[in-house]
């Protein structure tokens, strides 16, 4: 249970992950936002190849002056496929100016080839370039495909999750199989910032 910004959770592979993080999808002034968030106590920074801002995220981390080992960096592989994944991770490392990624996710199952992409991620983990591997936007049948292939259970499934969207079936499946559910768009991409209940909670 999250009690403050320092709260953490242990993933199924033994890696400790912060419960709160800054999402950077399509963020303007990304470097400044990342640096400021880290100064305010955030330790997880979430980005993706698709967002086109990994380089700005890396600059923001440098601007913060925080030691890399004290941060938890998440990025996501956009193009599925074994070789695409290997090459994609190498480019992400350069753009983020880091030697490793804490959590590497398949961004989505839209192109198929989930098994070969996931196997490539496991290879990268063995090489020490990735600490933990998971998926994003996967539904039950996608996760079942990895299980049937005999692959290790993903540590995380990142899905859209907030008070106005509660996909119970996939959440229950993840709980049953010890997959941590990571929610994105908690305020529906800022569309609910003026919601009275949210404003009342913020004041409290």
Active site annotation includes 184: no
Backbone angles phi, psi at 199, to 5 degrees: -65, -40
Element (H, E) at 181: strand 180-184
The DSSP 8-state label assigned to residue 19 in this structure reads S
Q: DSSP of 41-88, one letter per residue?
A: T--EEE--GGGT-HHHHHHHHHHHT--GGG-EEEEEE-S-SHHHHHHH
**CA–CA gap between residue 107 and residue 145 (Å, rounded):** 16
Asked if 170 and 194 count as a contact pair (C-beta separation under 8 A), the reply is no
Q: Point out the catalytic residue in the list 51, 100, 118, 173.
A: 51
Any residues with CB less than 8 A from the CB of 25 and at least 6 apart, and which?
A: 47, 48, 51, 184
Active-site positions read 51
């Amino acid at each position: 249970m999250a009690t403050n910004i320092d709260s953490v959770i242990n993933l199924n592979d033994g890696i400790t992950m912060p419960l709160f993080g800054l999402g950077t999808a399509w963020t303007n002034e990304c470097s400044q936002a990342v640096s400021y968030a880290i100064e305010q106590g955030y330790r997880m920074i979430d980005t993706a190849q698709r967002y086109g801002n990994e380089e700005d995220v890396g600059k923001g981390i440098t601007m913060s002056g925080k030691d890399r080992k004290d941060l938890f960096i998440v990025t996501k592989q956009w193009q599925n496929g074994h070789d695409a994944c290997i090459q994609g991770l190498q480019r992400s490392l350069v753009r983020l100016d880091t030697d490793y990624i804490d959590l590497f996710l398949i961004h989505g199952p839209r192109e198929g080839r989930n098994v070969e992409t996931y196997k490539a991620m496991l290879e990268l983990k063995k090489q020490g370039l990735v600490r933990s591997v998971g998926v994003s936007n996967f539904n039950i049948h996608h996760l079942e495909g990895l299980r049937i292939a005999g692959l290790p259970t993903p540590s995380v499934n990142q899905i859209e999750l907030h008070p106005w969207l509660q996909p119970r079936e996939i959440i229950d499946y993840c709980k049953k199989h010890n997959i941590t559910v990571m929610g994105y768009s908690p305020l529906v991409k800022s569309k609910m910032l003026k919601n009275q209940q949210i404003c009342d909670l913020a004041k409290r």
